[in-house]
Structure 1
């Protein structure tokens, strides 16, 4: 382990990641990896999660390809030095910020989307000029082994090594010194990673999860709302960190919500979802038992509830009469169970959400813009969507990340580049104007102080019309002066 990290650091120190052309070459090779091995990737995802071909393409490969394409198109702009304003004391100098790579990053992926959640951070690491040690999720063993086989065949072997193994490997990995740690997973492990990172003051990006609420107001089209909610909750057998974790509605709506959810599920997966080629499975027996345990007590199963441990199958399930203190409401479900709670109004719903840990995303369904704005302005979460679910993840111009218990830091697109770069402040002075600069040297006096205040004082930018007027007046004065001299 130590030798792998050391080799990655030596490769980074060689400077070969600094040229933008090298970074682009590696990103193009990553695209080739995806294109030339699409069938093998989809097969591995099917073996790990019974993930359908459509879900593998739409939720793993397309977002990843878009990330790579966005980085290739925008890398020169992202990496370019950015000029900033100074003060009168810095007139004639060069003032700018520039993005520098951090060094060697550790990227620890998650098993629910094992390809995308391992390689998407790698896109940002490559674009920013870092080396990166990849630790694919051991639970998704087929995808992890495939990545271990493919990544060294396409990318620089020293800069981007892949390590396989369980918790013991992850612990040993975290004993090494890194310049950034990027982890996707649960909050319990997230706390352990932050503790390990503190030893070396290593910055972290923690993409966690939590209980993302979904409020349905009585003015919306319930059929459309429930179709979208059912889609977002039960793709990947509910194993999606931004899936609606529970629904809140008024008591009078509950029965209709359940019936619309039932209709949507029957449309999507048929009478027997276990036979549907589009419905996934729980990742392993341990998680199966955890999710099945959430069905026991604390609510009424209104839809589904069937389980088959040998097949790792849990039916799409909707629960009503849910006790807010039940285990299904105390931990992230991360499985195909959707609790439906009833609260009398928007006010109590907002209080209910705000009294709990900050979620990764909040969803609200309503035609009333005032209600939507209340959720925007009166709640805190990593992201927020109105009248749909999940899709904000696909927009790489939006930051994706949590807040508080749902994570720290954000990525996707330029946000990945920024998260894995250091924005260095640069002020390149010259040795001229020493007379002006002498006002800052001792011995001090009230006169020097007055000059210093005037020189460094932040001034309001003059309006554009004033600047144009000054420019025009200057031109006129120059013309008049020229004619006066000639005459």
Structure 2
């Protein structure tokens, strides 16, 4: 399963046609069928946990604990939660109406959008594929998944498990590189879900626009960490470094740079060094150290180049060996430094000194909206300053990374960090069309008769009465 597989482009249209027939037949509409598919996905994960861990170890050298917790356990729990709430999510809504519309039976039905396409990344290949897939299943949408060619073991494992556990007429994995993605994007889908870089996201959005296809874009950006002078500096350093070392920083919500108040900058730098020594007492290259590799040579070269070009001072790490780049913390960074050019997407963390929290707010506001803002503070004033003064996909106080565990809340970006969201019911909402239904009673005809030409003065007065109601004072 380690070799890079490639779906024959000629198969793509056949797969598309097969899934289209399935959707048109109504097979995916019964809730019991959807429930069975979601539970099969849960069994897939439980039965194949070791295989999934092995795949992630081969592709990313990802520690088994991280794989088991994030890529398997989290998704199993999400499956069970979706099954428990499936009827509630799909239940028609009865909006509150004004009195004269109370007999219209105004209802909002949750209908599956149709065929879904998911193009998913290499850094967390299973969870980033399966959480939106659960939403598609709960909504009754067939789906084609195109995982990344950069994680071939995981992609091949996913393809084999789909064929074994899920309905092949509704859920299919196709494998390959950009050429296969291009073939897929030429087709008309009812929803596209993409997680990846902003550069590729723009290509996906342009392709979706040709067919006016709704789209969820989960991108990234430079996620800042703010260290207020009021916070527990040692705890902030440990939690920041933890977020940065997950998957060697190859995650869209990884802390990218730190804005630290000048009053606690020396203490924070010392705390970062202490936290590093506690997490890696024998160094990253010591025996029995579990630490992810950098995915491929171009990414290694890019990170090495950043370390060479930065004008800051390295206070932690900075070593590279083979496919490993150690957690690296660089201080005294200026806004125009090489490390601030783009999302780092690797284990390099920049420290920038600020004179106040207002300066930190202004710094963040001057840049594209990130996927997350992390703020370490104990004061309500600072909390409100960042809640009201900055924009981002998420705002997390006094920790990093852990918004990924809040499955009840929407996860998504804003602006250049993406649009749309998923997790839990938000995944389901991404793949349903909320269809309005009314059933106009015959008894309404005396009132409706006023709408027909020829218009009369009486009709004008009655039907335009809403323009003359009393408005509350400002």
Please indicate the TM-score interval, normalised by the length of the shorter structure. Answer: over 0.9
Q: CA deviation at 1:294?
A: 1.2
Runs of 4+ residues over 4 Å off in structure 1: 454-460
**Which residue of structure 2 lines up, in the alignment, with residue 46 of structure 1?**
57
Q: 1:428 to 1:455 in 2, by over 3 A?
A: farther
In the alignment, structure 1 residue 308 sits paired with structure 2 residue 295: no
Change (3 A) 1:94 1:318: same
Q: Is the 8 A contact 2:162 2:173 kept in 1?
A: yes
Matched, 1:338 2:342: no
Please say if residues 300 and 319 of structure 1, whose CA atoms lie closer than 8 Å, have aligned partners that are also in contact. yes
Matched, 1:250 2:264: no
Of the three residues 168, 175, 186, the one matched with 2:179 is 168
Check whether the contact 1:82–1:97 (CA below 8 A) recurs between aligned residues: yes
Residue 295 of structure 1 aligns to a residue whose secondary structure is helix
| Residue of structure 2 aligned with 1:419, choices 427, 430, 434 | 430
User: 2:33 aligns to what SS in structure 1?
Assistant: helix
Change over 3 Å in CA distance of 1:439–1:315 after alignment to 2: same
Using structure 1 for the length normalisation, give the TM-score. 0.91
* Equivalent residue number for residue 372 of structure 1: 383
Mark the CA change 1:393 to 1:459 in structure 2 (over 3 Å): closer, same or farther: farther
How far apart are 1:191 and its partner, in Å? 0.3
Give the SS at the match of 1:214.
strand
Aligned partner of 2:149 among 138, 147, 166: 138
Q: 1:283 aligns with which of 286, 292, 295?
A: 295
Q: Normalization by structure 2: what TM-score?
A: 0.94
Match of 1:395 in 2: 406
Alpha-carbon RMSD: 1.6
Q: Contact 2:119–2:147 (CA<8 Å) still a contact in 1?
A: yes
Displacement, 1:458? 8.9
> Per-residue displacement from partner, 1:16-74 (whole Å, max 9, x unpaired)?
11001100000010010000001111111111111111100122112212221221111
Distance in 2 (alpha carbons) for counterparts of 1:128 and 1:348: 45
Could you tell me whether the CA contact under 8 Å between 2:120 and 2:128 is conserved in 1? yes
- Out of 43, 55, 66, the position equivalent to 2:66 is 55
**2:309 pairs with 290, 297, 307, which one?**
297
Matched, 1:450 2:433: no
Aligned-partner SS, 2:438: strand
5+ long unaligned stretches in structure 1: 461-487
1:349 maps to which residue?
360
In structure 2, the residue matched to 1:74 is: 85
The aligned residue for residue 114 of structure 2 is 103
Q: Is the 8 A contact 2:46 2:72 kept in 1?
A: no
Counterpart position of 2:8 = none
Distance 1:457 1:28 in 2: 56
Alignment match, 1:263: 274
C-alpha deviation, 1:283, in angstroms: 1.1
Q: Distance between the aligned counterparts of 1:88 and 1:220, measured in 2? A: 53
**Equivalent in the alignment of 1:83:** 94
2:34 corresponds to 1:20:
no
Q: Taking structure 1 as reference, are residues 458 and 317 closer, same or farther at Cα in structure 2, changes over 3 Å only?
A: farther
- 1:94 aligns to what SS in structure 2? coil
1:329-384 alpha-carbon deviations (Å, 9 max, x no partner):
11111111111111111111111100000000001001111101110111000000
Distance apart, 1:457 and its partner CA: 9.2
Q: 2:72, 2:250 → 1: CA distance? A: 17
Counterpart of 1:200?
A: 211
| Contact 2:53–2:64 (8 Å) recurs in 1 | yes
**How far apart, CA to CA, are the structure 2 residues paired with 1:387 and 1:76?**
36
CA distance in 2, matches of 1:221, 1:115: 35
The answer as to whether partners of 2:260 and 2:354 remain within 8 angstroms in 1 is yes
How many residue pairs get aligned? The number is 458
The question of whether the paired residues in 2 share the 8 Å contact of 1:47 and 1:142 is answered with yes
SS in 1 for 2:290: coil
**Aligned runs of 1:96-245 on 2, under 5 Å?**
96-245=107-256
| Whole-angstrom distance in 2 between the partners of 1:174 and 1:51 | 31
- 1:459–1:160 distance in 2 versus 1, CA, 3 Å: farther
**Residue pair 1:88, 1:456 contacting (<8 A) in 2 also:** no
2:46–2:76 contact (8 Å) kept in structure 1: no
Structure 2, gaps ≥5 residues long: 1-11
Deviations 1:365-420 (A, max 9, x none): 01111101110111000000011111111112111000000001011111111111
The 1-side partners of 2:116 and 2:388 are apart by 35
Q: What is the CA distance between 1:122 and its match in structure 2?
A: 0.7
Q: Which moved more, 1:93-102 or 1:283-292?
A: 283-292
1:89 positional shift: 4.2
